[in-house]
Structure 1
Amino acid sequence: MVRHNNQLPDNLPQLQNLIKRDPESYKEEFLQQHLHYKSILEVFRLEPTQFNKSLDELVTFLAQVAHCYPNDLKTYPQEIIDILQIHNIILDNEMRMTFCKALIQLRNKSLLEPTALLSLFFELLRCQDKILRQFLQTHIVTDIKNINAKHKNAKVNTMLQNFMFSMLKDPNIRAAKMSVDIMIELYNKNIWNDVKTVNVIATGCFSKITKVMVASLKFFLGTHSEEKESDDSDSDDEPSMKEIMMANKVNKKTKKRQKQLKKAKQSFVKAKKKKSKAPQYNFSALHLIHDPQDFAEKLFKQIEKNNDRFEVKLMTLDVVSRLIGLHSLFLLNFYPYIQRFLQPHQREVTKLLQFVAQASHELVPPDMLEPVLKTLANNFITERNSADVMAIGLNTVREICTRCPLAMNEDLFEDLTRYKHYKERSVMMAAHSLIGTFRRIMPNLLHKKDKGRPTEANIMIRSSKYGEIRASEFVLGAEVLYNQSAKNTEETSDSDEEDDDEWIDVSENNEEEIGDEEISDEEISEEEINDEEIDENELTSESMKSSISENKDDKTLTSHIVNNSAQNTCEADSGEQKINKISQKKNALTKQEKKAQKLEKKAKFKSEKNKELTAERKTKASVISTERLLTDKDFRKIEVALAKQDVTYIKRSVKRTHDQIETDKGGELVKLSDIENIYKKRKHDKAARQKSVKKGQEERDKFGFKDRRQNPLCSTTNREKRKGKAFSMLKQKLRTKVKRSFREKQIALKNHLIKQKRMK
């Protein structure tokens, strides 16, 4: 091997390449460069603010070949770390970046421990160099990701989390903000998704630095940008699979196109596999907080004390309302505080309404939410407001009552249900949705006409009291399996193994129950008919007796008043008419009372029958739940039966095709779209669009050629006249490829020569 000793000291990249190939042969040159590095480093320490090009090159060179001579470069990493720790702020930007890159290279070659390097980099986040801070942030995230790639390194994680906790209290704004961003990014990448990380970020919500507080609040609200993996998502510039397949069919078969087709097929298969996988759901960060009650109280006190911007206050209120709703907390000062801002003209009022609905749950005392509902009724649901404001108010009342139905008062509910006949469709639909909610939750508040036709599922609904917890003693709907014998179950299990995808029909049990109910209704109707016949007979006998008594009275009156005048006879006639009217009124009252009594009897009979049915179902379900182990097929039958009960009427087994009962109850969080959901006619339907088009055509000029001549009465040229003529008149003049005669060529040449002469 030929060695160029004269050129190597000046050409460090060549020496670096040769050392990596054969370290032993070039050890002398390396030691020479190492001594040169030490001497330059001593000079640099005297003036650390200046950029030293030779030191910059030597630091990079030594970092590249450090793995070849680990014994000779033992002190090299610590020297660079000491320089960065002592002179981190006053160093030149390029020199600082070179030192950091050298340390990262040493870390990648496992010549440096991660804890020492990462703690140094967190301190360097204080520097006023944006490019360096972004570079360090990406390295910290990727390094921690690589450390925890195979398994969680608890020792390193705990040390770094403690260091980040101290960095959050750092007075430097940039360092604190960057440390919060790193923790949030690591949580979103599922690297640090433990309880400790969440609670460290939670302390950032009480930071005096507004940027740190806002970043922490956004993390708990889930508004932080999620991780975008470049491997899974195809870029917009790349052609789609359909285009590549078409190009491969039509165009020439080249190697590039074949590679593109192969790559597109692989990405398509990858995306298909990803869709087929079951979705992975992570717990919300709000579930992992140690003491949510204390955390919510501190945040609420912070709102009252601090004079932050309105947007920051909104974010804090959102976090507090979510905590109250998720953990069923008691923060009674929250509702009067937010009640002050519930005005239609308030900025971001729909978000405030969303926070009230989120903060309501079953354990909130109804006395605290009643004033809120009254405020909504007085400020929003009044005819002096627009229809949209009224609809939003009704939607908010519905969302609050879904989570805390006991807050609704009977008088207020009666007033709100009357808006179902309002002239505006949006208000009418909002009132109907409120009625539908109470059909599911608390039907006893509704009038009979608002309850609708009762279904089999509605019989089981019973409004709960405040703080009441209902523990189910049996599997709901298990009574469907009561009539099945052991043999039938074995046969069905064998048949189910053959046909797993077959849907199960559970119509027999329902038909039996419905048959019993029909018989009961027939019995009721027969009793009514008998009662009506008895009443009619009684009424006829009473009327006969009254008429006989009236005739007797008339005879006695005529015998006593024979000699009276015509005036006395007229008075007697009028008295008789009054007596008849009074008797008719009495008869009418008795009829109404009897009808009311009949209806009460009928209602009592139905309620008793329903109670008997529910009691029977409960006993059957409890027997099945205690004596049998239910299989997947059994649960499938139960689900079918429960779904059928929701849409089957009690009386005649009629299935509803519309107006189905909403089974989805209020979730953990309230969607803003549920409150802002307004039913209204589309403004831009076809008729409205045609009308606007015609209106626009009236005001503008006509399309086509616009004559810009100053004198519109002057004559036009033949060329301009040709534009207005029909094509059939001009097509014979458009024959361009016809041969010209000798005379035509002469004239054309003459004109050309004259034109050239004029140009000169």
Structure 2
Amino acid sequence: MVRRHNNQLPENLPQLQNLIKRDPASYHEEFTQQYQHFQNTIQVFELSPDQTNKTLDDLVMFMAQVSHCYPKELINFPQQLIDLLEKNSTVLNATMRMTFCRALILLRNKNLLAPTDLLELFFKLLRCQDKALRSFLETHIITDIKNLNAKHKNAKLNTTLQNFMFTMLKDTNSRAAKMSVDIMIELYKKNVWNDAKTVNVIASGCFSKFTKVMVASMKFFLGKDSDEKDSDSDSDEEIDPKEVMMANKVNKKTRKREKQLSKVKKLASKAYKKKSAAPVFNFSALHLIHDPQGMAEKLFNQMETTNKRFEIKILTLDVISRLIGLHQLFLFSYYPYIQRFLQPHQREVTRILQFAAQASHELVPPDVIEPVLKTLANNFITERNSSDVMAIGLNAVREICSRCPLAMNEDLLRDLAMYKNYRDRAVMMAAKSLIHLFRNTRPELLHKKDRGRPTEATEELGSITYGQVDAKDYVPGAEVLLKEDDKEVEINSESGSDDEEWVDIKHSSDEEGESEDNCSEEEEEKEEEEKSESPERKILKAKSSKRELAHKVTIDRILTDEDFKKIDMANIRKQVQGPKKGTKRKIEEVKVSGASELVKLGDIENIYKKRKHDKQTRIESVKAGQVDREKFGYKDGRMNIHCSKTNREKRKTKNYQMVKHKMQRKGKRSFKDKQIALRNHLLKLKKMK
């Protein structure tokens, strides 16, 4: 290889770097010269590390770029940089500190530096007063750990790094602790560290002495699940591009219409992809906590003993309520504490009502939650409050009772049910939703007129007792498959041949008479027994027979997807169909839904508002506003209507053919007009100043 301009190489580091990467052996001498120069520059730099040294900056990046070409010669180079940063991190110039960090990252990317060594240094650098550097280091740490686990999870390295993060979480420096929490949360969101160990390390951050660390940890546990994330509007799903395409064919072709059509096509394809996409299940991190009871108790004790801001108290109450609801914990002191905040004028009261509902579950003793319901009834559901407050109170009672129905007593429920005839629509609808809930759970508490017409589903309901576990050994509603099989058999038998229908006929008249007498006697006995049976016994008998049939179907056959669809339809039919025949209401109007894990704030704030005006009233108000109004259209601005008009105004009334030649040519301004316009513009600017 011919080497030219060797005398310029010592001064031109980019060119030398390029040549070394192509042929390291040929330029070993030049590299050695630069390396010696680097060592001398470092000795000079250590005498005054607070001063900027541009030569050292260039040499550090040069050495980092060619480090893979001469690994033996530069074996001590990474440690030399680490020592420089550890010793002078707070004194160094911000630009030089960033250059040294970039060089170390470059060495790490070339696997010339272990990840643990670099992480330890970077966490020490967080003590520096340099926000840009901290953000840069955080991004690198997350990217580096993500790349380490890209192909397969490196369990040994992850354990080492997680232990290091755990020690940094307890660091005396608030920035280092906050950074470690942020990194772990980001890695959990990116599905790199989504195991139980990471979640429990973040959970320990909820008890940190630093407020920022504590808030970040609690906000992580309040993160939204995939089903709660803000979805696109329903209008995207209901878009029909065919209608827009047809309108585009018929109507005049314009640029605006083409733009609209392309937009509609994009939205339609997006909606189609959304519908066809496989469902994503992302469970909340709260499920992975090892000791939820201990965590809830410690959080509650921390909230009572420390005097934090109201916003932090709200966060803590939210986390505790979710822990209680998800893991069905016992924390009886939580309910009297939250009861103090149940006032209409309380700040964030709807969220506090949400926490009360989230902390309710079937295993909480009813006498613990009953005072909460009475407080809601006394403070919210009274006529001295506005209708919105009353509706929110009723909605909160409904959400609590959907999770703990035994907390409601008969007297209170009947009092609340009387609001179904209230003059305000919001209160009326909230009361009706409460009645509908107890129709499907404990209809015996309601007044007879509020229970509604009995259906098959309500007849199958049994009495609820505290601590009862409703574990079924069969698929409810599976008996419907036997009925359909019997129908198919009957149809097949009817469509059979005539010869098959006349098999097994007895010709003896005596035998016929004896059999008829015996049958009639047995039928009479059965009828007498059925008449003597009470209605309750009949219902119990029907229930037991349905259970036996469903149990038999579940054991005897493998259920397919079609079978499950039939069972679901039969269960829906039970909600609307009476015990014998007839329907109570349309299937579309019936809403059968169980209580979800987390309470949605919208369910409590769900207030029905009646429109102020119907269409006819709005039309009348529009017409009333048009009375005594000047005629719309062109306004004649002349002071004297008899004076002449300008040429531009006259042009509007002329025939188009007369002014066509003037419209077609471009209206260019003369030089004089431009001067006048510029002068007016400058005068206007001067006035504005």
TM-score, normalised with respect to structure 2 = 0.79
Q: Does 1:49 align with 2:50?
A: yes
Question: Once the 2 structures are TM-superposed, how far is the Cα of residue 191 of structure 1 from its aligned partner?
Answer: 0.4
**In structure 1, what is the Cα distance between the partners aligned to 2:436 and 2:303?**
37
Judging changes above 3 Å, is the alpha-carbon distance between structure 1 residues 686 and 175 closer, same or farther for their aligned structure 2 residues? farther
**1:253-283 CA distances to partner (integer Å, 9 max, x unpaired)?**
xxxxxxxx9xxx9999999778634222122
Q: Cα 1:218–1:732, aligned 2, differ >3 Å: closer, same or farther?
A: closer
Which residue matches 1:545?
none
Q: 1:24 to 1:225 in 2, by over 3 A?
A: farther
CA contact (8 A) 2:453 2:584 kept: no
SS at match of 2:7: coil
Q: Is the 8 A contact 2:50 2:92 kept in 1?
A: yes
* Paired letter, 1:107: R
Higher alpha-carbon Rg = 1
Deviation, structure 1 residue 644: 2.5
Q: Does 1:417 align with 2:425?
A: no
Q: Is residue 443–residue 451 contact of structure 2 (8 Å, CA) maintained in 1?
A: yes
Per the alignment, residue 466 of structure 1 pairs with 466
Q: Residue 341 of structure 1 corresponds to which residue in structure 2?
A: 341
Structure 2 stretches lacking a partner, 5+ long: 230-243, 249-261, 493-522, 663-689
CA distance in 2, matches of 1:157, 1:624: 50
Q: Partners of 1:278 and 1:285 in 2: how far apart?
A: 22
Does residue 90 of structure 2 align to residue 89 of structure 1?
yes
2: CA distance between counterparts of 1:297 and 1:695? 65
Superposed CA offset, 1:135-156 (max 9, x none): 1111111110000001111122
Residue in 1 that maps onto 2:141 = 140
**1:20 alignment partner AA:** K
2:608 corresponds to which residue?
A: 679
* Alpha-carbon distance in 2 for matches of 1:486, 1:606: 28
* Maintained 8 Å contact 2:225/2:284: no
Alignment map for 1:502-513 (pairs within 5 Å): none
Q: Give TM-score scaled by structure 1 length.
A: 0.72
Q: Which amino acid aligns with 1:380?
A: F
CA 1:315–1:650: 2 relative to 1, 3 Å: same
- Measured in 2, the distance between the counterparts of 1:439 and 1:203 equals 44
How many pairs does the alignment contain? 595
Secondary structure of residue in 1 paired with 2:119: helix
- Aligned AA (1:646): Q
Aligned counterparts of 1:292 and 1:636: Cα–Cα separation in 2: 38
Deviation at 1:647, TM superposition (A): 2.4
- Does the 8 Å CA contact 1:647/1:656 hold for their aligned counterparts? yes
C-alpha separation in 1, matches of 2:657 and 2:30: 90
Return 117-126 or 46-55, whichever deviates more: 117-126
Measured against aligned partners, the alpha-carbon deviations of 1:510-560 in whole angstroms (never above 9, x if no partner) come to: xxxxxxxxx9xxx99x99xxxxxxxxxxxxxxxxxxxxxxxxxxxxxxxxx
Q: In structure 1, what is the Cα distance between the partners aligned to 2:219 and 2:166?
A: 18
Alignment match, 2:575: 646
CA contact (8 A) 2:453 2:578 kept: yes
> d(CA) in 2 for partners of 1:151 and 1:354?
41
641 and 352 in structure 1: CA distance in 2 versus 1, 3 angstrom threshold: same
CA contact (8 A) 1:357 1:670 kept: yes
Q: Secondary structure at the match of 2:98?
A: helix
Cα-to-partner distance string for 1:50-88 (whole Å, 9 max, x where unaligned)? 111111000000111111111110000110011112221
1:43-192 to 2 correspondence within 5 Å?
43-192=44-193
Is 1:221 aligned to 2:222, yes or no? Answer: yes
Quote the residue 2:37 is aligned against: 36
Task: Map 1:697-708 onto structure 2 (within 5 A).
Answer: none
Q: Distance in 2 between matches of 1:123 and 1:347?
A: 42
Alpha-carbon distance change, 733 to 659 in structure 1, aligned in 2, over 3 angstroms: closer
Q: By how many angstroms is 1:365 displaced? A: 1.0
Distance 1:463 1:22, change over 3 A: same
Cα 1:737–1:54 change in 2 (3 A) is closer
The alpha-carbon distance between structure 1 residues 62 and 696, as it changes in their structure 2 partners (threshold 3 A), is farther
Look up the equivalent residue of 2:443 and give its one-letter code.
Answer: P
Contact 1:436/1:661, CA 8 A, preserved across alignment: no
Conserved 8 A contact 1:350-1:676: yes
Q: One-letter code of the match for 1:218?
A: K
Find the aligned partners of 1:372 and 1:188 in 2 and give their Cα distance. Answer: 37
- Residue 430 of structure 1 deviates from its aligned partner by 0.7
Residue 10 (structure 2) aligns with: 9
Residue 662 (structure 1) aligned with residue 591 (structure 2): yes
- Provide the residue aligned with 2:253 in structure 1: none
Deviation at 1:620, TM superposition (A): 2.0
Residue 198 of structure 2 aligns with which residue? 197
1:63 alignment partner AA: A
Q: Deviations over 1:653-695 (max 9, x none)?
A: 4373157543211100000000011112124754565577668
Alpha-carbon distance between aligned partners in 1 of 2:417 and 2:266, rounded to the nearest angstrom = 58
Cα separation, 2, equivalents of 1:308 and 1:384: 34
Query: 2: distance between equivalents of 1:154 and 1:611?
Result: 58
Distance 1:455 1:627 in 2: 29
Q: Residue 102 and residue 692 in structure 1: after superposition, are their counterparts in 2 closer, same or farther (change >3 A)? A: farther
The aligned runs of 1:227-238 (5 Å cut-off) are: none
Deviation per CA, 1:388-434: give whole Å up to 9, x if none: 11111111110000000010011111101111111111111111100
Give per-residue Cα distances to partners, 1:296-351, cap 9 Å, x unaligned.
11111121122211111111111111111001111111111111111111111111
Structure 2 counterpart of 1:391: 391
What SS is found at the alignment partner of 1:457?
helix
Q: Which residue identity does 1:38 align to in structure 2?
A: Q
Name the CA distance, whole Å, in 2 between partners of 1:611 and 1:36. 98
Are the counterparts in 2 of residues 647 and 660 from structure 1 also a CA contact under 8 Å? no
Letter in 2 for 1:639: D
TM-align CA RMSD: 3.7
How has the CA–CA distance of structure 1 residues 631 and 733 changed in structure 2, closer, same or farther, with 3 Å as cutoff? Answer: closer
Deviation at residue 479 of structure 1 after TM alignment: 2.2
For the 8 Å contact 1:218–1:224, the answer to whether it is kept is no
Q: Determine the structure 2 residue equivalent to 1:19.
A: 20
1:204–1:213 Cα contact (<8 Å) kept: yes
Indicate the residue corresponding to 2:456 in structure 1. Answer: 456
- Is residue 2:566 matched to residue 1:637? yes
Distance 2:166 2:629 in 1: 68
Deviates more, 1:687-696 or 1:358-367: 687-696
- Cα shift at 1:455: 1.4
User: What corresponds to 2:508 in structure 1?
Assistant: none
Q: Is 1:97–1:132's contact at 8 Å kept on the other side of the alignment?
A: yes
Distance in 2, matches of 1:454 and 1:225, equals: 38
Q: Which moved more, 1:700-709 or 1:159-168?
A: 700-709
Work out whether residues 381 and 391 of structure 1, in 8 Å CA contact, stay in contact via their aligned partners in 2. Answer: yes
Query: Which stretches in structure 1 are left out of the alignment for 5+ residues?
Result: 229-241, 247-260, 493-518, 528-600, 739-760
Point out the more displaced range, 614-623 or 8-17: 614-623
